[in-house]
A = this chain, B = another copy of it.
Amino acid sequence: MALGKGRLEAFSDGVIAIIITIMVLELKVPHGESLEDLKPLIPVFLSYLLSFVYVGIYWNNHHHTMQAVRSVNGKILWANLHLLFWLSLIPFVTSWMGENHLTQWPVFFYGIVLIMNGIAYRILALTLIKHHGENSLIAQAFGNDFKGKISVVLYAVAILCTWLNPTISVVIYVMVAGSWFIPDK
């Protein structure tokens, strides 16, 4: 049964809006009132900023992708929920990384969540293409999805780097996020 795409968009907007907003709750209000009291919040704030950009990228891409979608089916609803599941773990890994600065395991799991999001987005794309056909607008819009694939490879490299130097991993996360800002022609 083919379903309208309106509610999938509305539900995804709702979940992504909540994810992007509840992260800010981890910026615990300091009890003191001096400038010093804000210092421990700087890494938490930077983690928030990075994750805000990542969730923003996913919302942006979701918006662009759904623009080319005509209808959805049950499998697409689940592929989309699968993506939302991994997105929903971003606040958790963001806070863990923010509280422990650049130590191995928090940076490692941040990368795991990023890579699973990348894979979940790819599954969603393939499910959408299968539903619309190989010659559809959506299939053309994705093309070979070079940027998506290279991002997943870079996340994998960053995850491995956590054994060497977690700072390098975070630099890779920031670079991948940055690459998605460059508008596609």
Contacts and interface: CB of A to CB of B under 8 A. Distances in A.
A156 interface: no
A74 B77 CA distance: 25
A29 B95 contact: yes
A64 B16 CA distance: 22
A67 interface: yes
Contact of A105 (B14, B24, B33, B89): B33
A163 interface: no
A contact residues, range: 35 or more
Given A10-B9, A19-B21, A74 B103 contact: no
A116 to B, nearest CB: 13
A103 B64 CA distance: 45
Q: Could you say how many copies of this chain the assembly holds? A: 4
A103 B26 contact: no
Contacts of A15: 17, 20-21
A106 B30 CA distance: 10
Contacts of A60: 74, 77-78, 81
6 contacts: A7-B9, A11-B59, A20-B84, A34-B105, A56-B78, A60-B74
Interface of A: 1, 3-4, 7-11, 13-22, 24-27, 29-35, 37-38, 49, 52, 56, 59-60, 63-64, 66-67, 74-75, 77-78, 81, 84-85, 88-89, 91-92, 95-96, 99-100, 103-106, 109, 181, 183
Given A33-B100, A38-B105, 18 more contacts: A7-B13, A8-B63, A13-B14, A15-B20, A15-B21, A20-B84, A24-B89, A25-B91, A27-B89, A29-B95, A30-B96, A31-B99, A34-B105, A38-B109, A52-B88, A56-B78, A60-B77, A60-B78
